[in-house]
Amino acid sequence: MVGVKTVKIDGECIYIFNSAIYLFESSTGFTLELDIIVSEVTVKKYKKEETLIIEIELEDGRNIHSIMHVKILSGGLPQLNLFCELADIQEFDGLHNVTENDAWFPNIEEGITLEEIRKVEMPIEEVSLKLKLPIDQVEWLKSQKKRQLNEMFQEFIYDNWKKNNS
C-alpha cells in the first residue's frame, strides 16, 4: 500500500500525524479518500470549508492534485476526511481498495495521543472569567496589559497543575 509523504491545502503544507489514502468503491462509483490526523488548529481552520485544493505527494513520488470535499470526523483525535469522485481509477494503482461491505478500514488513530499532537501545535482559546475580587485587585488587573495577563495566568495555571500533581 502506498503511503502519503506530504499534504498541502490551498498551497499550505500541513503537519500530518498519520494518514491513509485509498479508493472507496460504492454502488455509485469510486471516490479517492484521504484520512489524515492533524492538529486541532488545522481542523478549526478548515471546518467551515466545503471544498479545498489539495496536493498530495505519495511516498512513491507520485503527486495528486485535486479539488476535494472536506469532512470533519468527530470523536477521537482531530482528523480530516478529504474525498473526491473519480471517473477513472487507472492512475491510482497501488492504493488500497475499500468497498462498502469491507470489514477492513484504516485505523489511523492507533499509537497517537492528543498530548503528542498538542506538543506540535497547541490550540489557543479565548476565555472569559467572572470573578468577585476586592476593588484594589480589580483596579490592578485593569491597569495590566492583556499580553501580561495572559502570560501571568498561563504561568499560574501551570504552577498549580504541578503542585496538585505532585
**What are the grid coordinates assigned to 14, written together?**
500541513
pLDDT at 27 (0 to 100):
83
Structure confidence at residue 67 (pLDDT)? 95
Q: pLDDT digit of tens for each residue in the chain (166 aa)? A: 678 999 999 999 999 999 999 999 888 889 999 999 999 999 999 999 999 999 999 999 999 999 999 999 887 899 999 999 998 888 888 888 888 787 677 789 999 999 999 999 999 999 999 999 999 999 999 999 999 999 999 999 999 999 888 7
Q: In what order do the strands lie in the sheet with 29-37?
A: 12-14, 4-9, 51-58, 63-73, 79-86, 29-37, 18-26, 96-99
- Between CA 91 and CA 94 the distance in angstroms is 9
Whole-number pLDDT of residue 146: 93
pTM, 2 dp: 0.83
Nearest 5°: the CA angle 46, 105, 14 is: 30
- Distance, CA of 39 to CA of 134 (rounded, Å): 40
SS3 150: helix
For CA atoms 86, 88, 93, 97, give the dihedral sign: positive
pLDDT of residue 45: 95
